[in-house]
Amino acid sequence: MSALALQTAIYTALQASSYNVYDDVPVNAEAPYIVIGDDTLINDNADDFEGFDATVTIHTWSEYRGRSEIKTMQDAIYTLLNHTDMTVVGYNLINIYQEFSESMLDPDGITRHGVQRFRVLFNES
């Protein structure tokens, strides 16, 4: 299925960062780390191909005091994903680009949480 192929491609790309990357965070995970979050997938078909318009949310988590670590993590993710030639097995990647990025302090007063959303356009090869 295309959603799994896309998640696998993003996971593989993010492995090039210096941070642990999770789909499901282990109980004993230590910050900082990256989590591949929710996604959407909309069919964007034409007469001669089946295409997809997807969004993927990437979360970053840090316990560093201040926002510099979370922003450094977000910069690394931007570099690894935005307008890259990432390989989505079985599909042609048309484009991937960041729609937004934000960072916030969690209610615990310690943890920094970053959120980025990427739009991905791809079709069957």
Q: Which domain holds residue 63?
A: 2-124
Q: Please state the pTM of the whole predicted model.
A: 0.94
CATH number at residue 23: 3.30.2000.30
pLDDT tens track for 111-123: 999 999 999 999 9
Confidence of residue 2 (pLDDT cuts 50, 70, 90): confident
Closest to 68 in 3D by CA, of 101, 114, 107: 114
For the cut 80, the answer to whether the pLDDT of residue 47 exceeds it is no
pLDDT at 48: 76
Indicate the average pLDDT of the chain.
94
DSSP assignment of the chain: -HHHHHHHHHHHHHTTSSSEEESS--TT--SSEEEEEEEEEEE--BTTB-EEEEEEEEEEEE-SSSSHHHHHHHHHHHHHHTT-----TTEEEEEEEEEEEEEEE-TTSS-EEEEEEEEEEEEE-
Looking at the structure of the chain, the number of domains it has is: 1
Confidence of residue 1 (pLDDT cuts 50, 70, 90): low
Amino acid at 110: I
